[in-house]
Amino acid sequence: MPERPSPRRVVLITGAASGFGAGAARGFAAQGARLVLCDIDEKGLETLAESLRAAGAEVLARRVDVTEEAAQAGLVAAALRHFGQLDVAINNAGLGQPFTPLARTEARDFDRIMAVNARGVFLGMKHQVPPMQQARAGVILNIASVAGLTGAGHLAAYAAAKHAVVGLTRAAADELARHNIRVNALCPAFAETPLFAEMADRMASRTGEDAAQTRQRITARVPMGRVATVDEVVQAMLWTCAPANTFMTGQALAIDGGLTAI
């Protein structure tokens, strides 16, 4: 008797409207995954969802503010109602920070960055974990940053939040390994995303440089001499979550062109 095919994986991605989130959605769709996508950018999210559906993917898309617990709980509940399972969760939604000295960083800006980048990951995992525990299987990938592995001057709020993401990842991995749930963090350096472009433009306007000079200054310390492409980071996301990757958990994986090697 032929073996019954296993159901296609259900992959939840926050911050899916652009950047790493959109790239991951396309990558997982190409593998046949069913997708649960959210973002606060409703228009961008729906544009992505329609393009994926036109290519044959099954997509559930919702506007979600990841700092709101009810919204995060509702997203997981909708995924379970619609698809009946949750196999992979990628907590990708995040905010950047303009280069600012610590003493000039506004408390409200610190609180907002922590709310999205750290609290948002915590709330996501809080509600993603129970159905995975019930299934005794699952993968969670949290998108941190090299700023969560090293010091990052003039990015104190962002670095604090990303260090929190790495800590949350390691604590959850320790707690959930016995449930066959793997939890890892990916720590990219600068990459060709809208977030990076916005940051570079702000820096250029402050310093009076042109955009090319600013980009050169940003990449000067990277041994490979450039920023990452979105696809390079997405490939790492796909591998970290791959069904064949069964024994890796609690890791904070740097995708940084050698930046943390020096």
Active site residue 158: yes
What is the C-alpha separation between 13 and 21, in angstroms, rounded?
6
The secondary element (H helix, E strand) that includes residue 108 is: helix 107-114
Pick the catalytic residue from 110, 158, 190, 196.
158
Phi-psi region of 168 (alpha: psi -120 to 50; beta: other; left: phi over 0): alpha
Question: Using an 8 Å Cβ cutoff, are 125 and 118 in contact?
Answer: no
Contact predicate 191/230, CB 8 Å: yes
Pairwise CA distance, residues 107 & 117, whole Å: 15
β-bridge mates for residue 38, sequence order: 62
Distance CA 262, CA 249 (A): 25
Inter-residue contact 29 to 52 (CB < 8 Å): yes
Cβ partners under 8 Å of residue 2, min gap 6: none
User: Cβ contacts of residue 225 below 8 Å, gap of 6+?
Assistant: 219, 257
In what side-by-side order are the strands of the sheet with 252-255? Answer: 59-63, 34-39, 10-13, 88-91, 138-143, 181-188, 252-255
How many whole angstroms separate alpha carbon 125 and alpha carbon 132?
A: 10
Residues marked active site are found at 158
